[in-house]
Amino acid sequence: MKFIKNGLLIALVIGFCACDSTDLDLQVDPNNIAPEQASVNDLYNNIQLNFRSVLNAAYRPAGEMARMFHLGGNFTYEAVTGPTEFSFLWQLVYSRMLPDIEALLPLAEERGLDIHAGSSKVMQAYSMMLLVDLMGNVPLSQAGQGTDVISPTSDPGESVYAMANTLLDEAIAQMSGTSAPSPGADLHYNGDAAKWVTAAKTLKLRSAMTTRLIDPSGAASTVNSIISGGDFIDEASEDFQFNYGNQRTNPNSRHPLYTNHYEIGDGDYLSNYYMWLLRADKVDADGLIQVDPRIRYYFYRKVDDAVNQDATTFSCHFSTLPDQSNQPDHYAKIDPRLPYCIAWEDGYSGRDHLNGEGIPPDGPIRTSYGLYPAGGQFDWDEFQDTRKAGTTGGLGQGIWPIMLSSYVDFLRAEAALTVGTGEDARALLESGIRKSIDKVVGFESLVSATMSKAVTLKDGSAGTVKELFGTSDEDIESYVAFVLAQYDAGDADTKLDIVIKEYFIALWGNGLEAYNMWRRTGKPNNMAPGLEPATGEFARSFFLPDVHVNRNANANQKSITDRVFWDDGSVDLY
């Protein structure tokens, strides 16, 4: 592929000077830089930032379909999706990121900059698989040919995946054992080539598991090969993630979810179902709730009572107030415990899936994104408004999690249960939970002053925020024991459901993997339905962007019911 750009995305800083007459003999136009004069580090920085924007543009809409984030605006899937959904994402990939990679590769390879080139191939491979996961068939082999191919045809999704895996193989070969200098700024692995290789190999495992429905034996073979090779993401230091900063302006380097809830606007609604999974889904034989130890890190409550608020702050649809006795019948058919209108009465206030009601004045009571992964506030029953112009919590220094060590454990557990890899699914389930909790609790370092703050509770209990509200070893052991006991008591379907539900909880922030998980497994078994009983056909993929369809003579719009190539339709979705 050869991507043609109108101009290189490089800024020049030109100083003024006192010049003599010989400067008038300058033969090179400084405003038209030749490709060989490009700064590889500048190109690489731009690739990383565009990759960050790709994640931002993709993760939320995908996560909305999977109930990780709230999906609203109307009551049916057809009404809430449209051909403009991914226009910006499309332009990011095809007009910015891929052309910059195409410009960087010959320069980097000519200069022996293997880490620049190899890691760019990893980002390209992930981005191409991401497009397929969202929309199905997309251009690749004919893309970026400029006037030579004005209307590139789309490649089958399976071919795009194959090309992406070839790019990963090239990246692995290029960066293995290299002594090349590191990029000036690597926002993922700080220039560590070995970790980039580990990430590339793990993405091949991810690819195999994403496509396991249509190639179970291939998935088993790939997973076993990568695991036996021993080089895959299995500890937090190898986690593939984009790392945000805490700068508010010039530029704003903070996590977009932090900006969404910690500036001055109301921010998005959080998903009632997803919050409920952590707050009240797990109940023992005595009716006691096992609260997830990550909940105070994931979500920040502004109020301690989500029920007894002014009626004008609610838009419950089937009732004026969030009375659980008004839970619609189609909820109860899935799980009579599913939350209606709010997630839980002690302050967890979001919205149900596909709630298309108008927006009431509920900003002061909406639950906000918390410390992980957005770099927001830790919830220690302070119950304050988060809209303080970006001055609280971790100041947005969060992450977009792409592929974490906990994810790999859950994928391996899924593989053991579905394609017969022979690994111990139970042990991997436990390992994934523990790694996820450790990762989340580690974000306390962003708010160390808060965690060490001395407080006295109404009952006279005194201690630090960490001691009174932070996750303890006892909390973790209790949670792990509960999940494993449920796993041990379950049949094959229940075991897979538990693995996938714990994976779903650990995925917080990565909506793409959640969307893939839901389409691949149809689990969790008690996934919340839409607010109305008639939501239309589930969106098994998204529309192609109008910027592509309207300008490409060979492009035809698709339906949201079209399945991507690895979705064999064996799972019923709603």
Q: Give pLDDT, residue 5.
A: 39
Tokens representing residue 206 in the block: 């991810």
Q: Give pLDDT, residue 21.
A: 38
Helix-helix angle 492-506:405-418, to 10 degrees:
160
Q: Is 292 helix (H, G, I), strand (E, B) or coil?
A: coil
Q: Are strands 462-464 and 368-369 parallel, antiparallel or unpaired?
A: unpaired
Q: Give pLDDT, residue 36.
A: 62
CATH architecture of the domain with range 256-521: Up-down Bundle (1.20)
CA distance 526 to 523: 7
Q: How much is the pTM?
A: 0.93
242-278 per-position pLDDT tens digit? 999 999 999 999 999 999 999 999 999 999 999 999 9
DSSP 191: T
Q: Give pLDDT, residue 13.
A: 28
Q: Residue ranges per domain, the chain?
A: 21-232+543-549, 256-521
Q: Give pLDDT, residue 15.
A: 34
Q: Give pLDDT, residue 11.
A: 33
Question: Within the chain, which residues score under 70 in pLDDT?
Answer: 1-38
Residue type, 259: T
Q: Is 355 helix (H, G, I), strand (E, B) or coil?
A: strand
Question: 93 with 54: CB under 8 angstroms?
Answer: yes
Q: Give pLDDT, residue 145.
A: 87
Residue type, 216: P
Q: Give pLDDT, residue 144.
A: 86
Helix-helix angle 193-210:157-175, to 10 degrees:
160
CA distance 263 to 66: 27
DSSP 112: T
Dihedral sign, Cα of residue 470, residue 243, residue 233, residue 123: positive
Q: Is 360 helix (H, G, I), strand (E, B) or coil?
A: coil
Class of domain 21-232+543-549: mainly alpha
Residue type, 118: G
DSSP per residue, 51-110: HHHHHHHHHHHHHHHTTSB--BSSSSHHHH--TTTTHHHHHIIIIIIHHHHHHHHHHHHH
Q: Give pLDDT, residue 33.
A: 52
Q: Give pLDDT, residue 495.
A: 98
Give the residue carrying structure tokens 């497994």. 521
Q: Which residues are 242's β-sheet partners?
A: 400
